[in-house]
Amino acid sequence: MTRENKLYEGKAKIVWATEDPNEVAQQFKDDATAFDGKKKGQIARKGVCNARISAILFRLLEEHGIATQLVDLIFEDTLLCKKLQMYPVEVVVRNYAAGSICKRLGFEEGAQMKQPLLEFFLKNDSLGDPLVTEVHIEELALVGGEELGEIKRLALKINAVLSKFFAERGVMLVDFKLEFGKDSEGNIVLGDEISPDTCRFWDANTKKKLDKDRFRRDLGDVEEAYAEMLKRVEK
């Protein structure tokens, strides 16, 4: 298995063409950015940790009947994935208040939601990935109505599976981002990644942050947090 021509390079990953036109290689980078790219840095072995964590979690979700784009972990920092046509909307699942929702709505950080809360954000760097409502999604024809219903169902099922998995490992799944796409047969499939880059993980006992917030907030021990999450996921 080889990585062929580079198809795309983003802040955290490089997507490579492969010998199969229906598959791509997704290489995770050690580069780290925050605040719409205003803050930049490197986190040692972040790419390896994120690739391995995503592979384990995608396989877990597959075992629970949730289709993902994962084919295999082919290098320590690279996943072989089904090629998807991605929806231009990110789904954020919130179990506890943290990050932007605290600023927008005045929640106290760490406050538990009465039930898992779903938010949607338009994937558009030039607009700053704004929050959008279901009405906006319909008006802009970003996702079909039935498709959005299925995405919401899948997001909540993913949350239930992952929340239980992490609770058993002494971790609070505070919130996380999901991205979905369609495969070559038109099926809705989970794509992108699930990692400390896209999730907020807190130690259940100490509430220590074990995710990218350590980089965002200059909390230190960033590499150690990523390594700790990999260790817990591999249990």
Domains of the chain, each with CATH number or no CATH: 6-82 (3.30.200.20), 85-220 (3.30.470.20)
Q: In whole angstroms, how far apart are CA 153 and each of 85, 88, 91, 156, 188?
A: 19, 18, 11, 5, 11
> What is the average pLDDT value for the chain, to the nearest integer?
96
Q: What is the pLDDT of residues 101-125, one digit of tens each?
A: 999 999 999 999 999 999 999 999 9
**CA gap 199, 16 in Å, rounded:** 24
pLDDT at 204: 98
* CB 215 within 8 Å of CB 136: no
Q: In the block, which residue shows the tokens 């605290």?
A: 102
**CA gap 169, 114 in Å, rounded:** 23
pTM of the model: 0.96
Neighbours of 63 (CB within 10 A): 9
Q: In the block, which residue shows the tokens 């609770």?
A: 167
pLDDT at 4: 66
Residue (of 135, 115, 116, 132) closest to 124 by Cα position:
132
Give the 3-state secondary structure of residue 89.
Answer: strand
Using the CB atoms, write b or e for 9-34: b if 16+ within 10 Å. Answer: eeebbbbbbbeeeebbbbbbbbbbbe
Phi and psi at residue 124, in whole multiples of 5°? Answer: -155, 100
**CA gap 82, 210 in Å, rounded:** 29
pLDDT at 2: 62
Amino acid letter, 216: R
Query: Cβ neighbours of residue 20 under 8 Å, at least 6 residues apart?
Result: none
**CA gap 71, 77 in Å, rounded:** 14
Per-residue pLDDT of the chain (235 residues; tens, 9 = 90+): 566 699 999 999 999 999 999 999 999 999 999 987 779 999 999 999 999 999 999 999 999 999 999 999 999 999 999 999 999 999 999 999 999 999 999 999 999 999 999 999 999 999 999 999 999 999 999 999 999 999 999 999 999 999 999 999 999 999 999 999 999 999 999 999 999 999 999 999 999 999 999 999 999 999 999 999 999 999 8
